[in-house]
């Protein structure tokens, strides 16, 4: 079973571009999967909602609502207290993990499959 970990910016861009996460993953992933977010992702969204630019505040708020509305489809992974989100994602990345991110630095540091948003319309899986 593949584990798909959604990064903070990925969730926000999904909502910004009105991309249906579940339809797109069904289209792309041909095996069993589980969608997850890190507990630290929720913390990042909370911080962005309180301290970010106006557009990011709104997207962070919508992202939190999206995650709450889909809590039956998206699992929350507990992580170590003193680590950054990207470091936790790198630690969890393995051959059975797909990382969904738009973060250029994070993409370059990963050696496994990555799920990205293309042309503001659809998702694409890259190796």
Show me where the domains of the chain are located.
Answer: 2-126
Q: Is 22 left (phi over 0), alpha (psi -120 to 50) or beta?
A: alpha
CA-derived radius of gyration, the chain: 14
Domain 2-126 matching CATH 3.40.50.1010: the answer reads yes
What gap in Å lies between CA 75 and CA 117, rounded to an integer? 21
Q: What is the pLDDT of residue 39?
A: 96
Low-confidence stretches of the chain (pLDDT < 50) are: none
Structure tokens at 66: 């999206």
Q: What is the pLDDT of residue 119?
A: 97
| Residue 70 DSSP one-character state | T
Q: What is the pLDDT of residue 52?
A: 78
Tell whether the torsion through CA atoms of 11, 76, 98 and 87 is positive or negative: positive
What gap in Å lies between CA 106 and CA 104, rounded to an integer? 5
Q: How many CA atoms lie within 13 A of 28 on its CB side?
A: 21
Q: What is the pLDDT of residue 83?
A: 86
User: Minimal CA–CA distance to 6: which of 121, 125, 114, 91?
Assistant: 114
What gap in Å lies between CA 20 and CA 69, rounded to an integer? 14
């Amino acid at each position: 079973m593949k584990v798909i970990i959604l990064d903070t910016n990925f969730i926000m861009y999904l909502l910004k571009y009105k991309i249906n996460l579940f339809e797109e993953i069904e289209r792309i992933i041909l095996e069993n999967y589980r969608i997850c977010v890190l507990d630290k992702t929720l913390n990042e969204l909370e911080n962005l909602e309180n301290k970010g630019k106006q557009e990011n505040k709104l997207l962070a708020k919508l992202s939190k609502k999206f995650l709450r509305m889909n809590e039956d489809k998206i699992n929350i992974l507990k992580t170590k207290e003193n680590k950054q989100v990207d470091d936790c994602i790198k630690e969890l990345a393995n051959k059975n993990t797909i990382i969904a991110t738009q973060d250029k630095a994070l993409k370059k540091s990963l050696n496994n499959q990555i799920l990205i948003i293309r042309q503001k319309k659809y998702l694409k899986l890259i190796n």
